[in-house]
Structure 1
Amino acid sequence: MKFSSILFSIVFFALVFTSCSKYSKVQKSNDYAYKLEMADKYFDEKKYRIAQELYEELYPVYKGTDKFEKIYYKDAYCFYYLKNYRDAENFFKGFLEVFPNSEKSEEVDFMHALCFFKQSPKIELDQTSTAKAIGVMQTFISMHPNSPRIAEATAIIDQCRAKLELKEARAAELYYKVGQYRAAALAFTTVLNDYPESSKGDEYKLKTIKSYYHFSKLSITEKQIERFEKVISEYQDFADRYPESSLLKEAEEYSNLSKNYIKEIQNEQAKTPTKL
């Protein structure tokens, strides 16, 4: 077992040395056609970091020639495959600016948009890249309405919107959990307005009703009737929007509770003698 490990180490380091020696030979070569051939070979072998170094050395040599487009194109993909999406985004954008009439412009335009999606972070973090991905994908669809990539672009937009929706919903839920009921009601209303076609629309509306209900209960007596009336109004809107919802009965319960509270308050007010 020990001998096998030693043998493996010897073979491994021999291969690394040979590879490095070969690359060093290519890098030092003044035969630019050979260097480009090897860059393409490394690219095909998915050795993107080595290929990228060679491509960028060849920029000043081939700039202005018919080979420059391919070099720029593959260099952009090197960044992408190395998961350096920020630089890939800039290189794909640069490609479109340098080669606006390229037959690869549609593909590169899509890749430029895809880089924003790839930079979309965990849901807890800032979602600027996610929002940007939606915008650039929508622009791609507008610019290339017959592209075979439309379905993929649309699916990405849907994923991004779902992510943004979830982030907003979590923020609203947090307000509710910590007892900030008015803020929660406004936040759930915003989620519903921002994503009116959401499959969770009735859930957001119910949470809006519950938030306003708890806010009303905690309010001073002078404000309670007005605020319980808001609960009833929100329920009526719920019933209009989601008449078939399985949550309708629960929403109605909060409306009925609010009506009962209003009656109790009005009865108490009627018992209180008017001060002259």
Structure 2
Amino acid sequence: MKDKMNRILSFLIVALTFVSCSEYQKALKSEDNAFKSKVAEAKFNDGKYKKALRLYEQVAPAFKGKPNAERMFYFYAKSYYETKQYYLAGYQFESFVASYPKSEKREEAAFLAAECYYKLSPVYSLDQTDTDKALGKLQKFIDTYPNSEYLPKANEYFKDLNEKLEKKAFEIAKQYHMLADYRYEYNVALKALENFIADYPGTPFKEEAMFYRLDSAYKMAMKSIPSKKEERLNYAKTTYTSLVKFRPETEYKEKADKILADIDKELQQYTNSN
């Protein structure tokens, strides 16, 4: 009896699957856009996002600009989102927000649009154009919906992207410092590190950046022409003071103290000559 029930159940499942597939194939070939849209939503609700999207792509041009197409365009955008096509999803969500300003889904769509751009942001080592764009989209959402239920997530995304740009800026400044020994461009490295410290005062990389600034300032001073050497040595000494003031027990203390000793030794010649 149990085996018979299992066979009947299996038959029903196969039959339903066949009917569902037949309906989908019928919708693909149909000229009835309302039918296509209905089947597309059914596929979406079943988690068959690629199939739903294929149907939505067919009917979207016919519904564009029509006020009764709000539901269809929401699911259309969401289908792109669920299939991880974030460029297209972001565009469709933004289009939805613009087309249906009174929709109850407007706030969610605006957030999902911003989230799509967040997901397009690459790792910090690559070009950050999409990260800048995502920050702009998130800021717009935060300003437009300050009491949104999505605000905590939007702020989290915003913070994450800023930290990515911060790491990118630090790695660039650090690279200038690392290359300075080969190119003797200590002034370039120094400027990059100073800009980074000024632009990101609360950065977790501040201690490391301040030591690299000291190291670059010291090396630039030591290789300077006589007319500029004293001034640059004194500046290097101020960068040491800034470092130990910021972090008295810095992990770079031993190296920094050695640099300071070299600076003071060089400065003695100017003290003795005065």
Q: State the TM-score bracket (shorter-chain normalisation).
A: 0.7 to 0.9
Find the aligned partners of 2:24 and 2:250 in 1 and give their Cα distance: 66
Mean Cα deviation higher: 100-109 or 248-257: 248-257
1:139–1:245: structure 2 CA closer, same or farther, 3 Å change rule? Answer: farther
Query: How far did residue 68 of structure 1 move?
Result: 0.6
| Letter paired with 1:188 | L
| Letter paired with 1:246 | T
Identical aligned residues as a percent: 33
Corresponding residue number in structure 2 for 1:128:
129
CA contact (8 A) 2:174 2:209 kept: no
Matches within 5 A, 1:79-94: 79-94=80-95
Corresponding residue number in structure 1 for 2:11:
none
Match of 1:259 among 254, 261, 264: 264
Corresponding residue number in structure 2 for 1:24:
25
Corresponding residue number in structure 2 for 1:189:
194
The CA RMSD measured in Å over matched residues stands at 2.6
Find the aligned partners of 2:92 and 2:63 in 1 and give their Cα distance: 17
Corresponding residue number in structure 2 for 1:175:
176
Find the aligned partners of 2:233 and 2:19 in 1 and give their Cα distance: 79
Query: How far did residue 118 of structure 1 move?
Result: 1.1
- TM-score, normalised to structure 2, is 0.81
Query: How far did residue 115 of structure 1 move?
Result: 1.5
Query: How far did residue 227 of structure 1 move?
Result: 0.9
1:54 correspondence with 2:55: yes
Find the aligned partners of 1:199 and 1:61 in 2 and give their Cα distance: 53
Corresponding residue number in structure 1 for 2:120:
119
Corresponding residue number in structure 2 for 1:99:
100
Aligned residue-pair number:
253
Query: How far did residue 150 of structure 1 move?
Result: 1.5
1:74 correspondence with 2:75: yes
CA contact (8 A) 1:205 1:238 kept: yes
Query: How far did residue 247 of structure 1 move?
Result: 4.6
Q: Deviations over 1:108-163 (max 9, x none)?
A: 11111111111111322210111222222122111111112111111111111111
Mean Cα deviation higher: 196-205 or 153-162: 196-205
| Letter paired with 1:77 | K
Corresponding residue number in structure 1 for 2:155:
154
Q: Deviations over 1:15-44 (max 9, x none)?
A: x99976553212123444432221012112
- TM-score, normalised to structure 1, is 0.81
Query: How far did residue 61 of structure 1 move?
Result: 5.0
Corresponding residue number in structure 2 for 1:223:
228
CA contact (8 A) 2:80 2:88 kept: yes
CA contact (8 A) 2:244 2:250 kept: no
Query: How far did residue 63 of structure 1 move?
Result: 5.0
Corresponding residue number in structure 1 for 2:213:
208
Runs of 5+ unmatched residues, structure 1? 1-15, 271-276
Query: How far did residue 77 of structure 1 move?
Result: 1.4
Mean Cα deviation higher: 82-91 or 22-31: 22-31
Corresponding residue number in structure 1 for 2:3:
none
| Letter paired with 2:250 | S
| Letter paired with 1:166 | K
Query: How far did residue 256 of structure 1 move?
Result: 4.2
Find the aligned partners of 1:17 and 1:218 in 2 and give their Cα distance: 81
CA contact (8 A) 1:116 1:132 kept: yes
Runs of 5+ unmatched residues, structure 2? 1-16
CA contact (8 A) 2:37 2:59 kept: yes
| Letter paired with 2:95 | G
| Letter paired with 2:147 | N
CA contact (8 A) 2:207 2:247 kept: no
Query: How far did residue 245 of structure 1 move?
Result: 5.0
Find the aligned partners of 1:103 and 1:207 in 2 and give their Cα distance: 53
